[in-house]
Amino acid sequence: MKKKMVSAVLAAVMSTVMLMGCGSSKETAAEAPAETAAAETAPAAEEAEGEATEAAAGELAEDVQAIVDRGVLRVGVKNAVVGFGFEDPATGEYSGMEIDLANKIAESLGVDVEFTAVTAATRTELLDSGDIDCVLATFTITDERKKSWDFTTPYFTDHVGVLVEDSSGITDLSGLVDKSVGVSSGSTSAKSLVEAMIEAGLITGDGYNAETFDPATWTDDISFKQYEDYPSISTALSAGEVDAFCVDKSILAIYNTDGRSYISEEFAPQDYGVATTKGSGLSDYVEGLVTGWLSDGTIDGLIANYGLN
Q: Kindly list the residues in this chain that would bind ligand GLU in the complex (CB under 6 A).
A: 120, 138-140, 184, 187-189, 247-248, 251, 270
Query: How far apart, in Å, are the Cα atoms of 252 and each of 163, 173, 201, 256?
Result: 7, 16, 25, 6
Residue type present at position 146: K
Q: How far is the CB of 138 from ligand GLU (least distance, A)?
A: 4
Cα 192 to Cα 61: distance, rounded to the nearest angstrom: 37
Which residue, 51 or 155, has its beta carbon nearer to ligand GLU? 155
Beta carbon of residue 225, minimum distance to ligand GLU (angstroms, whole number): 15
Number of neighbours of residue 227 by Cβ within 10 angstroms: 23
Among 223, 228, 225, smallest CA distance to 237 is for 225
Q: Write the burial class of residue 182 (CB in 10 Å: 0-12 exposed, 13-18 middle, 19+ buried).
A: buried
Q: Which is nearer to ligand GLU, 140 or 277 (CB)?
A: 140
* Selection from 157, 185, 136 nearest residue 309 by Cα: 157
* Furthest C-alpha separation in the chain: 63
Contacts of 273 (CB under 8 A, 6+ apart): 139, 141, 151, 152, 153, 154, 155, 290
Shortest distance, position 270 Cβ to ligand GLU, whole Å = 5
Measured from the CB atom, the residue of 197 and 251 that comes closer to ligand GLU is 251
Min dist CB 118 to ligand GLU, Å, is 9
Q: Closest CB to ligand GLU among 103 and 187? A: 187
Q: Which CB atom, from 135 or from 170, has the smaller least distance to ligand GLU? A: 135
User: Is 45 or 252 the residue whose CB approaches ligand GLU more closely?
Assistant: 252
CB of 188 to ligand GLU, least distance (A): 4
Residues 6 or more apart in contact with residue 36 via CB below 8 angstroms: none
CB of 230 to ligand GLU, least distance (A): 7
Please give the span between the terminal C-alpha atoms of the chain, in angstroms, as a whole number: 34
φ and ψ of 256, to 5 deg? -85, 70
C-beta neighbour count of 256 within 10 angstroms: 15
What is the nearest approach in angstroms of ligand GLU to the Cβ of residue 154?
11
Closer by beta carbon to ligand GLU, 142 or else 295? 142
